[in-house]
Structure 1
Amino acid sequence: MKQNKCPICGCLLDESNDLRCLRFPICIYQQVTDKTLGNYIMYDLETTGLTNKDHIIEIGAIYVEDNTIVDSFSALCNPGIFITQRIVEITGITNKMLSDKPPEYDVVKQFVEWCNSKETSLAVGQNINSFDNRMLKVATKRFKLNFPFERSLDTLKMAINMKLKEKGLVASNQQSDLGKLYGIEYVAHRAINDVEALYQIFEHLKKDYNGDLPILNIDKK
């Protein structure tokens, strides 16, 4: 019987578990199909903008063990620059609110340490692959810190795969519309509020999702 090869390092997959590399955990390739997922961190960032030159102003996160929230992280930080009125309108976070908060470095460092204290390397979030992971990578590189995650699961990708918009169930795949679909109301664009609402949305998505969850290995470069 021919064994498949690991898509990351080229080594053979484990005969006893062909969902992971034979060299695991030296090689991080491992697919997860169990919809309970075990442990994971769900997080959300608010930032001064969308580019790699922008800065984090808020981090909200929860740590989930066996489908139960057991810990949370929530902090505002001073980005060292004034935020625009547009960002104030989107997030409700003002320059005055950030003026006496710890600098971005301190909060990012605290968050990385908090993540590293948990028994997981899996991050879950809405648009996490394109935005949150990217912005956190930029910040950790800027401050010479280690990026704390090895794998990620994007709820936006789940919604796209489920074709919710094509079926006319949602106006868009944005979190606010997913919340409306499942009857979940919340104050959008504050990190911890977004995360707590997304946890409820995620529970519904998992129940409705067919097939393996779209978990990706993270390129830390």
Structure 2
Amino acid sequence: MQDQLYTVIDVETTGGGILGNRITEICIVLLQGDIILDKFTSLVNPEQNIPPFITGLTGIDNDMVRDAPTFDEIADRIIEITTDAIFVAHNVNFDYNVIRGEFKKLGIAFTRKKLCTVRLSRKLIPGLFSYSLGRLCSSLNIPLVDRHRAEGDTDATVILFQQILELDPEYTIINSFLNARSKEATLPPHLDVKIINALPEKTGIYLFKDQKGKVIYAGKAKNIKQRVLSHFYDKKNKEYALGQNTHTIDYEVTGNELVALLLEAEKIQKHYPTFNRAQKKTIAPYRIIQYINRKGIIQLAIDRSKSTDHSLEVFYRRSDAIEQLERLCFDYQLCPRYCNLQSTTERCSHYRIKNCKGICHGQESVVLYNMRVQQALISLKKQKETYLIREKGRTIDEHSFVMIQNGIYKGFGYVHQSEQVSHIDDFETFLTLQKHTYHTTKIIQSYLRKNGGNNIIYM
């Protein structure tokens, strides 16, 4: 390995994500072992505008690159200096993919073995608070001049890599990172490979967390390890940014996909992760409520609120709530006016429901009318079934259950086969309480459509 060639590389770009980046500056230092053989530095005309925030970060503006060579004009020089060399960079996947993308635009395949000085530093210099280039240089007394300029960052990375070579004289760690079967080359820079190796190949949820332990993404999977790794092989802007911000991963095995979906929805609502798009919006349901007006008449109405605790019934479309109220009016001869189906202050005149007995203009007693309202409410309550969905557990000697009580999702739990449970009160002992939301309703409805009455236990 003493004769091995390395190219230490840094690029500055226009920003805009891994797929939209164009290079504005590049610096490449060629090493043989730890000896510098060659160096190439150049501004690059990105052939597009440089955003002001990038200029603020790097100091490179449109005027500086206007007369600089385009990438295709320096492509041969980059190929020449990197041929037969291992591509080395701090957070290597960024620089490597940007350069590879530039070559792809030219119809040229660019493939090199690569090493990441962030991951190598974490392995060989453990215990530091941060492995950003600036923090590492400060901790190791490496001079860093012209931060966020290609040459300044490359010069500092060269010194860092030379120190890494000294810490790994037998090239044990470096060779393990270069192993084609090693995950080290594909994992994000801040994620320890031990975390990946510990992930189970089972159904459940996983949580990506940043340096402060904040959940930045919640997902569910039939195979947790396989799904997590797929994020890091994906070259989309969002997946790349997710990897760059991930420092650790937590997981929870659920045993089946239904509980995984419900738990994923709960985590998204609880943590509001930056990289989740779906399910983040809290949708307030429509509720059928009752109240007594000044005349002592029980009125029904449609309200909208996040709380479902005192609702007679919950809907996620206003049209469904109206349809249910109209059905109650028709079946129990209620007054459309006192069910808030019309806004007139005089006698009712609903376009379809004509069987009101006259409570709205004094032809029926309040007592008799209220009795029919109570009967309607009782029928409404009977429609709201209580049942359990039984599914596979986390191990072969347990099963899971999802509880729906009076039409409202209450949560899930796990019961060992040795437990004697038959009544709903017995199951409540093992219940993990959860919130009933629009998303949990959709998940359960989808499950019931797909599975019909299978696995349903009515209580």
- TM-score, with normalisation over the residues of structure 1? 0.72
Query: What's the CA shift for 1:216?
Result: 5.2
Aligned letter for 1:106?
Answer: E
How far apart, CA to CA, are the structure 2 residues paired with 1:163 and 1:141?
A: 35
Which of 119, 126, 136 is matched with 2:99 structurally? Answer: 136
Q: Deviations over 1:62-95 (max 9, x none)?
A: 1112321011011111111110111111111111
How far apart, CA to CA, are the structure 1 residues paired with 2:11 and 2:179?
A: 20
Aligned counterparts, 1:37-56, within 5 A: 38-49=4-15, 50-56=17-23
Alignment match, 2:135: 177
Q: Which runs of 4+ in 1 moved over 4 A?
A: 216-219
How many residues matched? Answer: 177
Query: What's the CA shift for 1:142?
Result: 0.6
SS at match of 1:212: helix
SS at match of 1:88: helix
How far apart, CA to CA, are the structure 2 residues paired with 1:70 and 1:91?
A: 27
Query: What's the CA shift for 1:162?
Result: 3.8
Compared CA separation, residues 134 and 184, structure 1 to 2 (3 A): same
* 1:206 is the counterpart of 2:165: yes
Alignment match, 1:146: 109
Q: How much is the aligned-residue C-alpha RMSD, in angstroms?
A: 2.4
Query: What's the CA shift for 1:163?
Result: 6.2
Q: Deviations over 1:33-57 (max 9, x none)?
A: x5x4622111111111132122111
The question of whether the paired residues in 1 share the 8 Å contact of 2:12 and 2:23 is answered with: yes
Structure 1, unmatched stretches of 5+, are 1-33
With CA pairs under 8 Å and 6+ residues apart, which has the higher RCO, 1 or 2? 1
* 1:95 is the counterpart of 2:62: yes
The question of whether the paired residues in 1 share the 8 Å contact of 2:24 and 2:43 is answered with: yes
Alignment match, 1:127: 91
How far apart, CA to CA, are the structure 2 residues paired with 1:91 and 1:109?
A: 26
How far apart, CA to CA, are the structure 1 residues paired with 2:179 and 2:54?
A: 30
- TM-score, with normalisation over the residues of structure 2? 0.36
Aligned letter for 1:212?
Answer: I
SS at match of 1:52: coil
Alignment match, 1:192: 151
Alignment match, 1:156: 118
How far apart, CA to CA, are the structure 1 residues paired with 2:25 and 2:3?
A: 26
Compared CA separation, residues 54 and 153, structure 1 to 2 (3 A): same
How far apart, CA to CA, are the structure 1 residues paired with 2:63 and 2:179?
A: 38
Alignment match, 2:319: none
The question of whether the paired residues in 2 share the 8 Å contact of 1:151 and 1:216 is answered with: no
SS at match of 1:71: strand
Compared CA separation, residues 37 and 181, structure 1 to 2 (3 A): farther
The structure in which a higher percent of residues are helix is 2
* 1:82 is the counterpart of 2:43: no
The question of whether the paired residues in 2 share the 8 Å contact of 1:90 and 1:189 is answered with: yes
How far apart, CA to CA, are the structure 2 residues paired with 1:65 and 1:202?
A: 12
How far apart, CA to CA, are the structure 2 residues paired with 1:78 and 1:98?
A: 5
Aligned letter for 1:174?
Answer: S
How far apart, CA to CA, are the structure 2 residues paired with 1:163 and 1:201?
A: 11
The question of whether the paired residues in 2 share the 8 Å contact of 1:46 and 1:57 is answered with: yes
Aligned letter for 1:173?
Answer: Y
How far apart, CA to CA, are the structure 1 residues paired with 2:125 and 2:159?
A: 19
The question of whether the paired residues in 2 share the 8 Å contact of 1:154 and 1:215 is answered with: no
Larger radius of gyration: 2
* Residue range with higher mean Cα deviation, 50-59 or 155-164: 155-164
Query: What's the CA shift for 1:109?
Result: 3.8
The question of whether the paired residues in 2 share the 8 Å contact of 1:40 and 1:124 is answered with: yes
How far apart, CA to CA, are the structure 2 residues paired with 1:194 and 1:37?
A: 25
The question of whether the paired residues in 1 share the 8 Å contact of 2:25 and 2:150 is answered with: yes
